[in-house]
Amino acid sequence: MLIVFSGLPGTGKTTLAREVARQAGAVYLRIDVIEQALRGSGVLAGDVGASGYGVANALALSNLRLGHKVVADCVNPVKESRAAWLAVATAAGVELLDIQVVCSDRQEHRRRVESRAGDIPGLVPPSWQSVTAHEYEVWDEVPLTVDTASVTVDQAVALILTHI
């Protein structure tokens, strides 16, 4: 199974994705880590663009073909990135579980964004202004949506695990 966590920075998707991966015994792929590694390598002349997603898609496919569950942790803001995850699941012959993580409490969301420490060396956490301006297209079909303003981490993980 391919489990893709999507949502804006500060919604809680990394916290949930890590815990779901741990409890499900899944391979964990975080786009931020891949993108920062690409930046740090110096092989790209400009912005990483979609390169991080391309690497994550390839890693997910190879792990799915080995029979592993894969958890992907990413903003996944546009139809193209969502279609690419579906293509990976289809190519591997596995089910895709899309999970959108939101934080409906605007003050709490802002607090989380502004209090984020850099957990990836060299990566500067986003500002609230960049989060509110971030491109994020509406889903064609609404995925499983978890609102971290209304449930605890344990409750959210338990809910997600029932779908795996």
CATH of the domain at 76: 3.40.50.300
- pLDDT for the residue numbered 50: 84
Helices 13-24 and 153-161 pack at an angle, to 10 degrees, of 50
Region 76-89 average pLDDT: 97
The mean pLDDT value of the chain amounts to 93
Helix/strand/coil percent split, the chain, to 5? 45, 15, 40
Whether the predicted pLDDT of 54 surpasses 80: yes
How many domains does the chain contain in total?
Answer: 1
Least confident of 73-77, 125-129, 154-158: 125-129
Token readout for 101 is: 């993580």
Which domain covers residue 95, as residue numbers?
A: 2-161
Per-residue model confidence as pLDDT tens digits over 7-37? 999 999 999 999 999 999 999 999 999 998 8
d(CA 36, CA 125): 12
pTM (2 d.p.): 0.94
Alpha helices in the chain (DSSP H): 13-24, 31-41, 51-65, 79-92, 106-115, 128-133, 153-161
